[in-house]
């Protein structure tokens, strides 16, 4: 009697895909950082369960929206600043060091991919990051730590000390123009990859989610590692369900054994 064909479980299939790829592009969302202690946005208890998003236009027009932004930052920024990269971040660095990863496109603003050890130019931040503050008047940049201290000392609506302009964290708000150079770099990298590896994203926010969708339409194979279902699962050649910090290191190790 024929042996039943072993159906490779998805993680083993992903390991095989990684073993044979050489221009992998990772596309990450908040789910890659939850195991570093940073809540994601749309899981139960996530950021949008606790806060309503503050739109960019409201930030510009309404002093109370600005004060609420900095008030929230008193709670959220220390969590991001104290977070350490987890095993999923480190597994992606290992792929870069093995010469198999050509870029990390991230929606995250926590800077953990860079802290994990990626060459900074390999990380494309579509939504900016939480570690800087920009004056909307003169464009002067300052560290988030410095402005966070001002807010802690009671300055509830910090303005630029050089020109008096409005200060805003360098993370991109809803309704704020995207960093188009980064978006174009990300589109080019994703379309040039031989495996687009989506990790920890609900893939519901555009224009970011248009990047994996567009790459697949040009023929790039996609794999999704995510704790829950996403709208793009049907476009993926492999879907691995589970926790990134537990699964990705094992998958990368298995891929190395196959080479
Ligand atoms: N391992 C794998 N997947 C995880 C894990 C984990 N440990 N933890 C959470 N997830 C999954 C969740 O199931 C969810 O599908 O990660 C996904 C996170 O989705 P979102 O919270 O929507 O985060 P993200 O996709 O990054 O959101 C995109 O929306 O609000 C904006 O600017 C914000 O960049 C963000 C964008």
Specify the residue with its C-alpha closest to ligand 1, atom 30. 41
Pair 201, 235 in one domain: yes
Q: What is the pTM of this model?
A: 0.96
Query: Does residue 33 have its Cβ closer than 6 Å to ligand 1?
Result: no
Structure confidence by residue, pLDDT tens digits, 212-221: 999 999 999 9
Please give the pLDDT value at position 5.
44
Pair 156, 55 in one domain: yes
Pair 112, 34 in one domain: yes
pLDDT greater than 60 at residue 3: no
Pair 143, 216 in one domain: no
Structure confidence by residue, pLDDT tens digits, 19-39: 999 999 999 999 999 999 999
Phi and psi for 10 in degrees, rounded to 5? Answer: -50, -40
Between the CA of 162 and the centroid of ligand 1 the distance, in Å, is 37
Please give the pLDDT value at position 258.
73
Pair 150, 119 in one domain: no
Pair 187, 203 in one domain: yes
Specify the residue with its C-alpha closest to ligand 1, atom 8. 31
- Catalytic positions, please? 127
Pair 158, 246 in one domain: no
Question: Could you tell me the CATH number of the domain that includes residue 192?
Answer: 3.40.50.1220
Structure confidence by residue, pLDDT tens digits, 157-188: 999 999 999 999 999 999 999 999 999 999 99
pLDDT greater than 50 at residue 13: yes
Tokens matching residue 165: 């302009």
Residue 46 CA, closest ligand 1 atom number: 21
Query: Does residue 127 have its Cβ closer than 6 Å to ligand 1?
Result: yes
CA distance 74 to 125: 23
Structure confidence by residue, pLDDT tens digits, 110-160: 999 999 999 999 999 999 999 999 999 999 999 999 999 999 999 999 999
Structure confidence by residue, pLDDT tens digits, 66-109: 999 999 999 999 999 999 999 999 999 999 999 999 999 999 99
Pair 203, 136 in one domain: no
From 141, 171, 201, the end of a domain falls on 171
Pair 186, 220 in one domain: yes
Number of compact structural domains in the chain: 2
Query: Does residue 42 have its Cβ closer than 6 Å to ligand 1?
Result: yes
Query: Does residue 174 have its Cβ closer than 6 Å to ligand 1?
Result: no
Structure confidence by residue, pLDDT tens digits, 39-74: 999 999 999 999 999 999 999 999 999 999 999 999
Pair 231, 248 in one domain: yes
Please give the pLDDT value at position 6.
46
Query: Does residue 110 have its Cβ closer than 6 Å to ligand 1?
Result: no
Among 96, 77, 100, which Cα is nearest to 23's? 100
Give the number of other Cβ atoms within 10 Å of residue 92's Cβ. 29
DSSP string computed for 50-115: H-----HHHHHH-HHHHHHHHHHHHHHHHHHHH----HHHHHHHHHHHTT-EEEEEE---S-HHHH
Query: Does residue 35 have its Cβ closer than 6 Å to ligand 1?
Result: yes
Between the CA of 19 and the centroid of ligand 1 the distance, in Å, is 26
Between the CA of 193 and the centroid of ligand 1 the distance, in Å, is 22
Please give the pLDDT value at position 4.
47
Specify the residue with its C-alpha closest to ligand 1, atom 4. 31
Pair 185, 165 in one domain: no
Pair 147, 251 in one domain: no
Residue 120, CB half-sphere, CA atoms under 13 Å: how many? 2
Question: Could you tell me the CATH number of the domain that includes residue 50?
Answer: 3.30.1600.10
Percent of the chain at pLDDT above 70? 97
Domain residues for the domain of 183 are 1-38+85-127+178-259
């Amino acid at each position: 009697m024929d042996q039943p064909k072993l159906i490779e479980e998805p993680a083993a299939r992903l390991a095989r895909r990684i073993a044979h790829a050489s221009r992998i592009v990772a596309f990450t969302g908040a789910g890659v950082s939850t195991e570093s202690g940073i809540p994601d946005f749309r899981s139960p208890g996530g950021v949008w369960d606790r806060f309503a998003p503050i739109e960019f236009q409201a930030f510009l027009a309404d002093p109370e929206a600005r004060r609420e932004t900095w008030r929230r930052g008193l709670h959220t920024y220390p969590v991001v600043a104290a977070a350490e990269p987890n095993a999923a971040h480190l597994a992606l660095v290992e792929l870069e060091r093995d010469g198999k990863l050509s870029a990390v496109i991230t929606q995250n603003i926590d800077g953990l991919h860079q802290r994990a050890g990626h060459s900074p130019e390999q990380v494309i931040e579509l939504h900016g990051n939480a570690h800087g503050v920009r004056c909307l008047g003169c464009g002067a940049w300052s560290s988030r730590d410095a402005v966070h201290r001002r807010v802690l000392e009671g300055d509830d609506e910090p303005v630029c000390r050089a020109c008096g302009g409005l200060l805003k964290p360098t993370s991109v708000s809803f309704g704020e123009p995207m960093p188009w150079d980064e978006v174009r770099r990300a589109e080019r990298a994703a379309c040039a990859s031989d495996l687009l590896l989506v990790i920890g994203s609900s893939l519901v926010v555009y224009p970011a989610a248009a990047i994996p969708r567009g790459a697949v339409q040009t023929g790039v194979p996609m794999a999704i590692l995510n704790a829950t279902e996403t709208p793009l699962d049907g476009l993926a050649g492999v879907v691995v369900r589970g926790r990134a910090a537990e699964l990705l290191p094992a998958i990368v190790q298995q891929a190395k054994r196959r080479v």
